[in-house]
Amino acid sequence: MKITYLFLPVYFGLIAGLLGHGVWTGAAGAVVGGVLAVVLSAEAIRRPGSSMASIDAMTGVEFEDYVAARLRRAGWQVDFTSATGDYGVDLIAVKDGRSVAVQCKRYGSPVGVAAVQQVVSGARHHDCNKSIVVSNQEFTQAAKRLAYTHGCQLIGRKTLESWVPPPARRAV
């Protein structure tokens, strides 16, 4: 977003200066571009899910909603399990006849083996073909080994960063 602070004032200044045939018009355009850059940056900070910091600040339920929204955007039908008695599964995603049990962990430290144990057993209980743990953190070595043993996919912080949605473009 920092390039916005440089690009927009210069762009608006050049366009206004060329159209207005004057230096003062160009300077006014640069000021308008600067103000626009500040407004756009503030909007990006306020928009939930626009950065990993905003994901880290989410509650567990907000993180589940975020993961569900990202899966839906990828074409999955997503249902939430009940808050109690979910058997370690937060979401059940279905696409092309495949069902996936998803455990969402918004933590402040690496995710341990218990999350994998929960979703693997919960996936079987919910008749899912696959299991996934999604977290804003990375996973312990024990969690990685157990996930490998059971074919459970782990989506940690590095992968989740690629999920962070870019700023929405508005049609003019």
Q: Where are the domains of the chain?
A: 2-46, 52-163
Model-wide pTM > 0.75: no
Residue 42: per-residue pLDDT: 55
Q: If DSSP codes are grouped into helix, strand and coil, which group holds residue 46?
A: helix
**pLDDT over 70 for what percent of the chain?**
67
Residue 30: per-residue pLDDT: 61
Contacts of 126 (CB under 8 A, 6+ apart): 81, 87, 89, 92, 99, 101
Residue 170: per-residue pLDDT: 46
Residue 7: per-residue pLDDT: 53
State the 10-residue block means of pLDDT for the chain, 172 residues long: 53 58 65 62 50 89 93 93 84 95 95 96 94 97 97 94 60 49
Rounded to whole angstroms, how far apart are CA atoms 55 and 164?
9
Distances (CA, A) of 7 to 12, 44, 130: 9, 17, 46
CATH of domain 52-163: 3.40.1350.10
